[in-house]
Amino acid sequence: MGAIWRQKALNEMPLSDLARKQPSSIFSNVPRFRFIEPCQPVLRDRPPTGSDWIHEVKFDGYRVQLHKQGEATAILSRNGFDFTSRYSTIARALVVIPAKSVILDGELIASSVEGIPEFYALHFRAKRLAPGRLCVWVFDVLELNGIDLRSEPLVKRRQRLEGLMRKVELDAIRLSETFDAPERLLIACEERGLEGIVSKRRAAPYVSGKTHSWIKVKCAAWRKANRERYRLFQARPRSPRSG
């Protein structure tokens, strides 16, 4: 299981508002970037099994979409809000990705010194965290060098993503590994205090919105510890929800 560990205005302004502003840096060219509604897993009690599925760690953070065009970058929330200036260290790291243009799907986390995601640190103290405690675990690629990849099966998109990410070594943007044994992965996540796992059909295209081709299973201890989390978003209705 060691692979797991290798693993106020502008911040929440809708893209329609940002499009009316003049860009002033490589992080502000948001009008160029087309937000794609993310694929969302359905919740189940147990993961699927069999060779048709691959399995990943479900990291406890904010779902984000990373965009790069040339040297211009953007970080968008799962609802299309702009996070680029809020997480500028990640936006700067995105410039290094070896592609003319790319759209990556991932999870932004704040980690403890042991490497465990800390959602409340991300939600309440992100601006005060040391840069090394923030990173994005990327798990899908939606567009690469002007080619829309969403109709391709997941295994082909993963091949492209792995080939891309293994050309660089970035602490701020990391590749989420895949596994073949969901029950063992779920037990390992439970032991380490992680949120759970996501299982994905190997042959599935990328589809916006809820899909039964992606299934999430949450660890029992995590569910118990986070029963009241919804209250955070009642108090801050425009805040991004975790993925």
Mean pLDDT over the full length of the chain: 83
pLDDT at residue 10, rounded to an integer? 30
Torsion of CA 145, 23, 19, 92, to 10 degrees: 50
pLDDT level of residue 54 (50, 70, 90 thresholds): very high
**What's this model's pTM, rounded to 2 decimal places?**
0.82
Neighbours of 155 (CB within 10 A): 14
Question: Which residue(s) pair with 200 in the sheet?
Answer: 54, 214
Judge whether residue 67 has pLDDT over 50. Answer: yes
Rounded mean pLDDT of 84-109? Answer: 94
Confidence band, pLDDT 50/70/90 cuts, at residue 17 = very low
Say what the pLDDT of residue 231 is. Answer: 60
The string of pLDDT tens digits covering residues 120-156 is 778 776 666 766 789 999 999 999 999 999 999 999 9
CATH number at 2-235: 3.30.470.30
> How confident is the model at residue 55, as a pLDDT?
98
The whole-number pLDDT of residue 133 equals 84
Flag the least confident range among 15-24, 94-103, 187-196.
Answer: 15-24
Rounded percentage of the chain residues whose pLDDT exceeds 90? 64
Q: What is the pLDDT of residue 116?
A: 79
CB atoms within 10 A of CB 174: 17
Q: What residue segments make up the domains of the chain, in order of their start?
A: 2-235
Counting DSSP H helices and E strands in the chain, the numbers are 7, 10
Report the candidate in 90, 109, 84, 63 with the shortest Cα–Cα distance to residue 13.
Answer: 84
Return phi, psi of residue 57, to 5°. Answer: -70, 135
- In single-letter form, the type of residue at position 59 comes to F
> Which residues carry out catalysis?
58
- Tell me what pLDDT residue 123 has: 75
